[in-house]
Amino acid sequence: MESAINSILDMHIEARQIAMECLIESKRFISKLSHFILQDYSRWLHRGHSKKEAWKITSVCVHRVFKSLHSERIVAKDILDQSDADFSTAKYLWATWKAHGIMVGYLRTRFYGLLP
């Protein structure tokens, strides 16, 4: 991803910087989510749940996370409009930043808190 960002946005320094920051934050989010999954699963096992039950409980929370992200990113699905690049770009940025806002909320609540 980094090489694609650098290659495509080579001449657009600010856009490249924004894309790299989004990529870094996305990687951080995935790392923290992975840690949460392992920790939450272990917590349910420790409380006496079977492996199957523990995974089911954990996966409900993880499903909620991905569903929240999807609901913000859906506005940019199939939005590419060759005749209006500014509109397409604005929609992609809007969806990306909304999704990043969701990620920040989940990180703040350690994946347990409910978002508004």
Does residue 104 belong to any structural domain of this protein? yes
* 27 domain-assigned: no
**Helix and strand element counts for the chain (H, E):** 4, 0
Residue range 59-78, pLDDT digits in tens? 999 999 999 999 988 877 77
Residue 49 DSSP class: -
Q: Is residue 100 part of a domain?
A: yes
Q: What is the DSSP letter of 89?
A: H
> In this predicted model, which residue has the larger pLDDT, 81 or 104?
104
Q: What is the pLDDT of residue 35?
A: 97
The first and second tokens of residue 85, run together, are 């690049």
Find the domain containing 101 and state its range. 35-108
Half-sphere exposure of 24 (CA within 13 A, CB side): 6
Closest CA to 108 of 19, 23, 29: 29
| Domains: count for the chain | 1
pLDDT at 91 > cutoff 70 = yes
Longest dimension (CA), the chain: 58
- Reported as a single tens digit per residue, the pLDDT across 24-61 is 999 999 999 999 999 999 999 999 999 999 999 999 99
In a domain, 60, yes or no: yes
Residue 58 lies in a domain: yes
Q: Inform me whether the pLDDT recorded for 109 exceeds 70.
A: yes
- Domain assignment present for 79: yes
Q: Apex CA 77: angle with CA 75 and CA 78, to 5°?
A: 130
